[in-house]
Structure 1
Amino acid sequence: MEYRKLGNSSLELSTITYGAFAIGGNMWGGNEKNDSISAIHAALDHGVTSIDTAPFYGFGLSEQMIGEALKGKDRTKVQLLTKFGLVWDGSNNGKGEFFFDANDEGKTVPVFKYASKANLIKEVEESLKRLGTDYIDLLQLHWPDNSTSISETMEALEALIQQGKIRAAGVSNYSVTQMQEAAKTIGLASNQVSYSMLNRAIEQELVPYTTANKIGIIAYSPLERGLLSGKYFKDAKLSNDDHRNGYFGQFDAEKVKALLQTIQPIAEEKKATLSQIVLRWTTLQNGITVVLAGARNAAQAIENAGAMNIELSAGELQMINNAIAGI
Structure 2
Amino acid sequence: MEYRKLGNTDLELSTITYGAFAIGGTMWGGNEQKDSIDSIHASIDNGVTTLDTAPFYGFGLSEELIGTALKGKDRTKVQLLTKFGLVWDGSNQGKGEHFFDLDENGKSTPIYKLSSKANIIKEVEESLKRLNTDYIDLIQQHWPDATTPIDETMEAMESLIKQGKVRAAAVSNHSVDLLKEASKTFIPASNQVGYSMLNRGIENELVPYTIANNIGIIVYSPMERGLLSGKYFQNEKLKSDDHRNGYFGQFDLEKVKVFLDNIRPIAAEKNASLAQLVLRWTSLQKGITIVLAGARNAAQAVSNAESMNFDLSSEELSFINAELSKI
The normalised TM-score by structure 2 is 0.99
Aligned partner of 1:203 in structure 2 is 203
> 1:38-91 deviations in whole A, cap 9, x for unaligned?
000000000000000000000000000000000000000000000000000000
Match of 2:187, SS? coil
Aligned partner of 1:240 in structure 2 is 240
In 1, Cα distance between equivalents of 2:6 and 2:255: 34
In 2, Cα distance between equivalents of 1:39 and 1:103: 27
List structure 1 runs of 4+ shifted beyond 3 angstroms: none
Match of 1:43, SS? helix
Alignment of 1:108-123 (within 5 A): 108-123=108-123
Aligned partner of 2:167 in structure 1 is 167
Shift of 1:305: 0.3
In 1, Cα distance between equivalents of 2:261 and 2:320: 10
Alignment of 1:114-153 (within 5 A): 114-153=114-153
In 2, Cα distance between equivalents of 1:105 and 1:117: 32
> 1:144-200 deviations in whole A, cap 9, x for unaligned?
000001000000000000000100001000000000011011121000000000000
Name the Cα RMSD after superposition: 0.6
Match of 1:103, SS? strand
- Are the counterparts in 2 of residues 26 and 103 from structure 1 also a CA contact under 8 Å? no
In 2, Cα distance between equivalents of 1:152 and 1:112: 18
Match of 1:140, SS? strand
- Are the counterparts in 1 of residues 97 and 112 from structure 2 also a CA contact under 8 Å? yes
Aligned partner of 1:75 in structure 2 is 75
Aligned partner of 1:100 in structure 2 is 100
Aligned partner of 1:87 in structure 2 is 87
Aligned partner of 2:56 in structure 1 is 56
- Are the counterparts in 1 of residues 104 and 241 from structure 2 also a CA contact under 8 Å? no
- Are the counterparts in 2 of residues 42 and 301 from structure 1 also a CA contact under 8 Å? yes
In 1, Cα distance between equivalents of 2:96 and 2:188: 23
Mark the runs of 5 or more structure 1 residues left unpaired by the alignment: none
In 1, Cα distance between equivalents of 2:104 and 2:262: 40
Shift of 1:118: 0.3
Aligned partner of 2:289 in structure 1 is 289
- Are the counterparts in 2 of residues 264 and 274 from structure 1 also a CA contact under 8 Å? yes
Aligned partner of 1:187 in structure 2 is 187
In 2, Cα distance between equivalents of 1:9 and 1:258: 41
- Are the counterparts in 2 of residues 15 and 289 from structure 1 also a CA contact under 8 Å? yes
In 1, Cα distance between equivalents of 2:150 and 2:241: 35
Match of 2:265, SS? helix
- Are the counterparts in 2 of residues 7 and 189 from structure 1 also a CA contact under 8 Å? yes
Aligned partner of 1:276 in structure 2 is 276
- Are the counterparts in 2 of residues 277 and 310 from structure 1 also a CA contact under 8 Å? no
Shift of 1:311: 1.2
Aligned partner of 1:260 in structure 2 is 260
Q: Does 1:303 align with 2:303?
A: yes
In 1, Cα distance between equivalents of 2:222 and 2:12: 20
Q: Does 1:25 align with 2:25?
A: yes
Match of 2:266, SS? helix
Alignment of 1:313-324 (within 5 A): 313-324=313-324
> 1:228-257 deviations in whole A, cap 9, x for unaligned?
000000121100100000000000001101
Letter matched to residue 9 of structure 1 = T
Q: Does 1:2 align with 2:2?
A: yes
In 1, Cα distance between equivalents of 2:106 and 2:140: 29
Letter matched to residue 152 of structure 1 = E
Match of 2:125, SS? helix
Match of 1:127, SS? helix
Letter matched to residue 4 of structure 2 = R
Q: How many residues align?
A: 327
Letter matched to residue 249 of structure 2 = G
In 1, Cα distance between equivalents of 2:80 and 2:42: 16
Match of 1:137, SS? strand
Letter matched to residue 52 of structure 1 = D
The normalised TM-score by structure 1 is 0.99
- Are the counterparts in 1 of residues 17 and 292 from structure 2 also a CA contact under 8 Å? yes
Shift of 1:104: 4.4
Shift of 1:103: 3.0
